[in-house]
Amino acid sequence: QVQLAESGGGSVQSGGSLRLSCAVPGYTYNNYYMGWFRRAPGKEREGVAVFYSLTGPAYYADSVKGRFTISRDNAKNALYLQMNSLNPEDTAMYYCAAVGEGCSGIDCLKSGRFTYWGRGTQVTVSS
């Protein structure tokens, strides 16, 4: 069983920034879609950002475009989500995911069909 591990969540004020990290086992890193999702209290899970691990482009939810950036560090087998200009609507549990199943591009973002998931890291933004 592959276990992803998120870190970097916390509490910030509106307008602040956080950088989430996800440790990804090496063998799942190449040639698969990877991404970040979130679930706010009382809401359905939402795709935040996804990309194909070796080539671009990245796909973002409209609500985070221009504020969030997904990236990776191949040497560290790590996935990142840089979050800037945070607002209270960004408050959620954030999950990283790897190995998209039968999806590509924006469909991976919308469907959330990924094989491996982390347990999540909480992000709380206060006004």
Per residue in 79-115, pLDDT (tens digit) is 999 999 999 999 999 999 998 888 888 999 999 999 9
Looking at residue 54, its pLDDT comes to: 63
Cβ atoms of 113 and 103 closer than 8 Å: yes
Distance CA 85, CA 107 (A): 26
pLDDT category of residue 16 using cuts at 50, 70 and 90: very high
Q: Average pLDDT, stretch 40-66?
A: 91
Nearest to 46 by CA among 38, 58, 35: 38
Using DSSP bridges, classify how beta strands 114-117 and 78-83 pair: parallel, antiparallel or unpaired.
unpaired
